Structure 1
Amino acid sequence: MTTLLRLDSSLRINDSYSRSMGDYFAEQWKVKYHDGMIIRRDLTLQPIPHLTQETLNGFFDDSLHSGHIGLSDLLIDELYSCDEILITSPMYNYGIASSLKAYFDLIVRTKKTFAYGTNGIKGLLTGKKAYLITALGILQPASQEKNAIEIQVTSILNQLGILDISYFPMDGMVDPEQAAIKIQQQRKQINQHLNQSDYATDKTDYRKIY
């Protein structure tokens, strides 16, 4: 059975472009994997505590314990149990949400998700696929291959050994007309990526959603 771990980080619970596209991706993913399981972790509704010195010390010394170490172990177990990862993220101040950063701070751990070897860092979460849905208010320059979120998250996932990453960016979302175009484009891309022959026509008027 294929398992998808979904991570949402938008501060908006309603009317969120990244969450809405994440919902659409999950629906189409279930069409492809009828018996698949989706584990959902909402980093806004289930906030992750920020990294502290006590927790960081515990990462390197097994004799030190804290409640955050236990949470870190749980989050890492979720990662190992899944085959694919879906991350939805809007851009805040040219970067990822602090909730998503807090999540990464607890799961990027030496000897747990990566190790140091003779050739440098070796990721331990190999053989997994990742999908990254991003929403940006501004337009991305045509000369820029990846947006700021994609660059940041890709670096982290690569360190963990996750190299197979698919991107579904939505930029210029502050403009309602542009947003409507981007939403339909990425719905089509998701279906093509998941090998669906067609995709549902959405009747929502996205020009009314900001």
Structure 2
Amino acid sequence: MNTLLRIDSSLRIKDSYSRRMGDYFVKQWILKHPDGSVIERDTAKKMTPHLTQQTFDAFLNENLYSEDLLLSDKLIDELYKSSEILITCPMYNYGIPSSLKAYFDLVIRTKKTFTYDNGIKGLLSGKKAHLISVMGGIHSLPGGMNPLETHLTSILNHLGITDISYFPLESTASPERISEKTELVETAIFKYLN
């Protein structure tokens, strides 16, 4: 059975372009996979705690305990249960939201999601990822990725995920063309999933 893990990170619960595009993606994905399931993980609604020394030490020593270690295990379990991962990500101060960074700090764990055996090897290969990135301005180079896509691609590759689709929405700070731009992204999502 197909399982989609949706990870949202916008601090805006209402009027969020990334959440709106994520909703559209999930709707189309469910039409394509009527027997599939969706796991929802929202790093902003339920804030993901930042990595601490205590939790990091517990990553490396099974005899140590941290409450966040249990959360880390749960987040990693969600990744393993999913066949596809949807990440919706707005740009804040030229980077990904801190809650999304905190999420990845908790799931990037040696012997859990990657190994160092004969070089770094991600353990989540065979999964697909979909990135919806949203920026107020234009940050992509012609024919290239934007900073959010570059950052998240590096993280996903580290985890072994290389099959990645991209759906950028730029210039959301220019309201006069936002309807046109969101329609273009929705069209790209529709064509991808149909």
The TM-score, its normalising length taken from structure 2, stands at 0.98
CA distance in 1, matches of 2:125, 2:151: 19
User: Which amino acid counterpart does residue 7 of structure 2 have in structure 1?
Assistant: L
Match of 1:72 in 2: 72
Identity among equivalent pairs (%): 57
Q: 1:170, 1:179 within 8 Å by CA — same for their partners in 2?
A: no
SS at match of 2:167: strand
SS at match of 2:116: strand
CA distance in 2, matches of 1:58, 1:140: 38
CA distance in 1, matches of 2:107, 2:19: 22
CA distance in 2, matches of 1:23, 1:130: 16
Cα-Cα RMSD: 0.9
SS at match of 1:117: coil
Match of 2:172 in 1: 173
Match of 2:138 in 1: 139
Match of 2:111 in 1: 111
Q: 1:85, 1:129 within 8 Å by CA — same for their partners in 2?
A: yes
> How far is the alpha carbon of 1:180 from its aligned partner?
1.6
Alignment CA distance shift 1:173-1:115 (3 Å): same
CA distance in 2, matches of 1:87, 1:117: 28
Aligned length: 194
In the alignment, is residue 97 of structure 1 matched against residue 97 of structure 2? yes
Alignment of 1:19-38 (within 5 A): 19-38=19-38
Show structure 2 runs of 5+ residues with no match: none
Runs of 4+, deviation exceeding 4 Å: none
> How far is the alpha carbon of 1:141 from its aligned partner?
4.4
Q: Which one has the largest radius of gyration?
A: 1
> How far is the alpha carbon of 1:143 from its aligned partner?
3.1
97-106 vs 57-66, greater mean Cα deviation: 57-66
Alignment of 1:49-60 (within 5 A): 49-60=49-60
Alignment CA distance shift 1:152-1:190 (3 Å): same
SS at match of 2:164: strand
Match of 1:200 in 2: none
CA distance in 2, matches of 1:24, 1:184: 11
Per-residue Cα deviation, 1:80-131 (whole angstroms, up to 9, x for no partner): 001000000100000000000000000000000000022x100000100000
> How far is the alpha carbon of 1:142 from its aligned partner?
4.0
User: Which amino acid counterpart does residue 179 of structure 2 have in structure 1?
Assistant: A
The TM-score, its normalising length taken from structure 1, stands at 0.90
> How far is the alpha carbon of 1:42 from its aligned partner?
1.1
